Amino acid sequence: MKKLNVEEAIGETICHDVTAMREGFKGPIFRRGHVIRDEDIPVLLDVGKRTIFVWEEHAGEIHEEDAALRMAAMAPVDRTHYTDPSEGKVQLIADTRGMFRVDTELLSEINRIGDITITSLPDHYPVEKGMRLASMRIVPLVTDEEQIIEAEALCRDRKLFDLRPYRPMKVAAVITGSEIYSGRIKDRFEPVIRLKMKNFPSDIIGITICDDDLDMIVNAAQSYIDKGVNLLFFTGGMSVDPDDLTPAAIRCLGANIITHGVPSQPGNMTLIAYRDDVAIMGIPGAAVSLPVTIFDVLLPQMFTGDRLTHDELLNLGEGGLCQLCDSCHFPNCTFGRY
């Protein structure tokens, strides 16, 4: 790569995208590989380019676009695609809905390598088709190829990014509470559950209201397990009061309770359990009074079929405090990072 005055560069090949910025536009006006012509000189001068870099190959060096393509190749992701290089970077785009996963430790290791920069959405982020997931580039126009080789070696046996698609789920709910069962008050959980299930490939096979009776709750839940439910919700009776039967009912089902209580607000009293392949969630009471709780944070992972672990749930602490904004922008906010 060599530097020339633009007037001396006619007939030379530009070795990087030349970017212009003006109102409503930022992007390349000349692409890498463009051969400079007489009429290009005023255009280059208008964007402040009195000098230009043209290609001159040196052994052991790699151009920014070639580096970006190599980085994309080292981090393949099913159900996504990478864009062609533009302004030295490639971007990872989602081809389906799902939950984006990041090996944050590996990402940090790669970004410590000299000139490499890779940025992405947070781990566990729910994404829609067409969303940008990550972007990769080197800082200079040219870098030492050994840096790319080092990054490739780190990715050889590890997966930097993944996109976990949502799976169709049979869903059921057991709503508990004598005040609801007796008709003294109207249940508010069912409409919330039905509304939130519309965001996922769900088939609601039933919702049952039970009295505060352990056998009734267990029998209702077991009937849904017998029908092949994948995701079973419980509402009511989630506090630690002795009269609250829901956790006891879940234990009676033979489920393994991963946690009863998470470091997140709203939704501290959330319960997560598994009975074989059936995922079970005790929904916190806040779900009926607030637009977003930990219920919304955990649903994407539950619909991928990936089990929630105790360590993952503990990681909710940092970023687990909702700001209760007047206008909710979840998930485009700080709440629910884990």
- The yes-or-no verdict on residue 57 having pLDDT over 80 is no
Q: Which position has the token pair 């998470």?
A: 262
For residues 180 and 42, the model is more confident at 180
- The yes-or-no verdict on residue 15 having pLDDT over 80 is no
- The yes-or-no verdict on residue 36 having pLDDT over 90 is no
- The yes-or-no verdict on residue 19 having pLDDT over 90 is no
Average predicted confidence (pLDDT) for the chain: 93
- The yes-or-no verdict on residue 117 having pLDDT over 90 is yes
Residues 123-148 pLDDT 10s:
999 999 999 999 999 998 889 999 99
- The yes-or-no verdict on residue 241 having pLDDT over 70 is no
Ramachandran angles phi, psi of 65, nearest 5°: -70, -40
pTM flag (> 0.75): yes
Q: What is the DSSP letter of 317?
A: G
Residues 322-335 pLDDT 10s:
999 999 999 999 99
CB proximity list for 220: less than 8 A, separation 6 or greater: 174, 208, 210
In the CATH hierarchy, which fold is given to the domain comprising 169-317? Molybdenum Cofactor Biosythetic Enzyme; Chain A (3.40.980)
Class of domain 61-164: alpha beta
Return d(Cα 29, Cα 51) in angstroms, integer: 16
pLDDT at 174: 98
3-class state of residue 66 by DSSP = helix
pLDDT confidence bin for 25, thresholds 50/70/90:
confident
Return d(Cα 302, Cα 230) in angstroms, integer: 10
pLDDT at 58: 73
- 2-54 CATH pick, 3.90.550.10, 3.30.450.90, 3.90.105.10, 3.40.50.10090: 3.90.105.10
- The residue extents of the domains of the chain are 2-54, 61-164, 169-317
pLDDT confidence bin for 171, thresholds 50/70/90:
very high
Residues 269-325 pLDDT 10s:
999 999 999 999 999 899 999 999 999 999 999 999 999 999 999 999 999 999 999
